[in-house]
Chain A
Amino acid sequence: MGRLIRLDRTGHTTVAEWSAADPADAERALAAFAGELERGMIASVDRGEGRAEVVRELPLDADLVILRRPIAGG
């Protein structure tokens, strides 16, 4: 079961959940993911050992994909 969450004012919001066995779930998740990227969010997937990766397409094999806002120098 994969989960796409967005860091926001509520703490975080689950944007989509999908199961690899359900193509309809995956379609909905892909559409939601594309919409979030269009809004300027950045998607990050944990790769273990303190590493993460920015992704531009939803990796359906990932357990958790986190959407964050861009960062900037203070």
Chain B
Amino acid sequence: MAGAEAASAPGLPEAAALGWRREPASERTLRRDGRRWTAWTCWVVALFAAPGAALLWIEPWTFPVAALCFAHAWAVPSLQARRGARSVVPIGSERSAAGAAADRVALGLLADLAGHADRELLARTGLVRHRGRLGTWLVGEQGALLIRRRGRLPGRRVFCWCVRVADARELPAADRVAHLLLALREDEEGVATIANLAFSGARWRVARHLPPGGRAGLASA
């Protein structure tokens, strides 16, 4: 159709609507956010572990209190990773909206969108893979994991994004994923701009809190 190019709109309309309120996501902002999360995690660990170590050094018999400090140093970052992992919600998982009669139709369309290579992964994990410029995305019903690359190799850092259909009422689970997959294919930086970053950190920290299917998806990314 003549004029089809002019009728297309670069980027996500949802991201454009945010305007100055949100800095557009890019390689640079992702690197910066990753460093901030690492610094924050180190700070939390040091904040709780240092008093524990000091107590043990001053008086070894205070070890029960020191153990409480070490437990906090472990638990707080772990809770943050858990929050990130829970934001994804694979199809068929505990918090999934799957179960409606329309799910079969929606799943068929999603499988077509995913393509032959990723259909098996979808069936196995409840997540859809999208290989983008920023890294490999694993998309669930209420969020997505972005696994960054290091050169040609898969990276160790995972970003957990909370992003969903604005009005998901009565929408089958697979359609919720299809919405996010389409948006990623349209403009992955736009999706990263709209989405809320729930967590960024090492792959193993997220994997511990994913359901078995999610862990398999993360391993395959």
Q: Does B associate with A?
A: yes
Please list the residues of chain A having a beta carbon within 8 angstroms of any beta carbon in chain B.
5, 7-12, 42, 44-46, 50-61, 66, 68-74
Residues of B44-103 contacting chain A, CB below 8 A: 87, 100, 102-103
Closest to B179 in A: A68
Q: How far is the CB of B75 from chain A (nearest CB, A)?
A: 24
Q: Name A8's contact: one of B9, B171, B182, B185 (CB within 8 Å).
A: B171
* Chain A residue with Cβ nearest B6: A57
> Chain B: interface residue count, which band?
35 or more
Measured CB to CB, the residues of B under 8 A from A are 1, 3-4, 7-14, 87, 100, 102-106, 108-109, 130-132, 142-143, 162-172, 174-175, 178-180, 182-183, 185-187, 191, 194-196
Contacts A/B (CB < 8 Å), 16 sampled = A5-B109, A7-B179, A9-B170, A11-B109, A12-B106, A54-B13, A55-B8, A57-B3, A59-B7, A66-B182, A68-B165, A69-B166, A70-B165, A70-B166, A71-B180, A73-B163
Docked-complex contact B8 and A71, CB < 8 angstroms: no
Query: Interface centre among A11, A45, A46, A59, by most B CB within 10 Å?
Result: A11
Taking the closest CB of chain B, its distance from the CB of A9, in whole angstroms, is: 4
| New A-B pairs, 11, CB < 8 Å, besides A11-B172, A52-B186 | A8-B170, A8-B171, A9-B100, A11-B109, A46-B185, A68-B178, A69-B166, A71-B12, A71-B165, A73-B162, A74-B196
Q: Are A11 and B104 in contact (CB under 8 A)?
A: yes
Q: Which residues of A contact B109 (CB under 8 A)?
A: 5, 7, 11-12
- Taking CB atoms, residues of chain B closer than 8 Å to A58 are 1
Q: A7-B171, A50-B132, A51-B185 are in contact. Are A59 and B165 (CB under 8 A)?
A: no
Q: List residues of chain B with CB within 8 A of the CB of A57.
A: 1, 3-4, 7
* Contact yes or no, A54 B8, CB < 8 A: yes
A42→B172 contact, CB < 8 A = no
Are A73 and B179 within 8 A (Cβ)? Answer: no
CA distance A47 to B185 in the complex (A): 9
CA distance A70 to B185 in the complex (A): 14
Taking A9-B171, A72-B194 as contacts, is the C-beta distance between A54 and B186 under 8 angstroms? yes
